[in-house]
Amino acid sequence: MDFRHQIAAPAALSSIAADALLLVVVGEAVDASLDAKLASPLNDALAQHDWKLKAGNKLYLHRPAGVKVARVLAVAAGKGGVKEFKSAVAGGVGQIKGLGARHVAVALVGAELDEAHAEAAATAAADALYQYRDTKPSAPAASPLDKLTLVCTKAQTKAVQAGLQRGQAIAAGVTFARNLGNRPANHCTPTYLADQARKLGREHELKVEVLDRKDVEKLGMGSFLAVAQGSHEPLKFIVARYNGAAKTQAPIVLVGKGITFDTGGISIKPAAEMDEMKFDMCGAASVLGTLRAVAELKPKVNVVVIVPACENMPDGRSVKPGDVVTSMSGQTIEILNTDAEGRLILCDALTYAERFKPAAVVDVATLTGACVIALGHHNTGLFSPDDALADELIAASRASLDPAWRMPLDEEYAEGLKSNFADMGNVGPRAAGAVTAAMFLKKFTGKYRWAHLDIAGTAWKSGAAKGSTGRPVPLLTHFVLSQAR
């Protein structure tokens, strides 16, 4: 989608050239500065109780008198915070996209449009227009809507341009991640993930390396190998690098769980909703999507993305409950539950990350159903023993409107991981399962600053709206940008 800005005062909106005008109206009354040719029908609708200035309420006007634009949609946005504005734009574009318009202009009425609003408009519009069609030839035809213009004051031009640029890059990263997540597991294999990473590298001049089984065996990644051994699909260990700063600057390392399908292995999952386990690689999709956004924005920072990718399948060669494996770190693990496989592939990736001498490492994984029970589907679970790093990630979540909530990591939780036969078990008791999973990962991160994002509740939606969300690409992108010098 083409994102642009246009300078105009609220009093001149009736002369805006576009196919549709989306008015995001803030406050409890229509702002007095609004063009009278638009304010009059809005106020009349309010007086006739045909419209209310309650957040989300819409009023459509077709060819209002004296207005150049043929289609006008007014959406109430409450007090006008960025979150409310984003919701209003998403709802407005969602309605306009079916009207035949190719170009929509967006104006904020009753407040001044700024950089955060501009980013929110770009990401909201992209989300409203998203349609998965890679394996669905019968999907509806794409909307003709392909251009969005933000109407702003001259004083806000630079800020709006910056917000649109960032929003467009984040939207592209989110779309990239959503397409990977939505693609069925017989299409999106570890090999396909590796191919997509290589393609990303070619398009954005990134260094991409893909390790195969022999490479992984040489590195001693016994934990990762154990998960992959039950599948006929070959494992892939993907390492991609964006170098935007001096070589001496320590990189940010993002590690994404890449289980392209998770049956649970020998500890097999119930059949109901198992199809959604194609989404178990959404951590991998999100770090690759973030890399795509960062590569477009070109901040002065170094980023390394690591993706251990494989399937978790039941087979005569599959790892069994009670088996003991040796991780790359040398620590041994008793695999008590083969369905706790994400942490088994991540732990070797976290050890591998040491070689980059990172400024910080953030792993992202659809790790535990327990996190869904704890936080539902709104907040991503954030775990870190580093208060400063946790604060930076929370700040990024707020700035990006991609919410996360910090969870505990008290040492007492590690008691549940003790094993009589190995250095640790891969699962603890049912209580605080998301925490004990994070405590397991923590055992492999002692040489750098580390945080873990459990996206089991936020990476995809179920039901009628089933599909990948692309989260937490916005959060991660803002975090990486905040580390630029």
Question: Which residue numbers are catalytic?
Answer: 269, 343
Answer whether 348's CB lies under 8 Å from 223's CB: yes
Least Cα distance to 167 among 381, 372, 1, 365 occurs for: 1
Q: In whole angstroms, what is the distance from residue 219 CA to residue 234 CA?
A: 17
User: Which tokens sit at 313?
Assistant: 């399948």
Q: In whole angstroms, what is the distance from residue 327 CA to residue 447 CA?
A: 16
Q: Which helix (H) or strand (E) holds 333?
A: strand 332-335
Answer whether 173's CB lies under 8 Å from 290's CB: yes
Phi then psi for residue 278, to 5 deg, are -65, -20
Residue matched to tokens 């998960």: 227
Query: Three-class SS string for 203-264?
Result: HHCCEEEEECHHHHHHHCCHHHHHHHCCCCCCCEEEEEEEECCCCCCCCEEEEECEEEEECC
Q: In whole angstroms, what is the distance from residue 331 CA to residue 418 CA?
A: 13
User: Which tokens sit at 454?
Assistant: 């459990």
Q: In whole angstroms, what is the distance from residue 33 CA to residue 233 CA?
A: 63
How many other C-beta atoms are found inside a 10 Å radius of the C-beta of residue 3? 21
Q: Is 450 left (phi over 0), alpha (psi -120 to 50) or beta?
A: beta
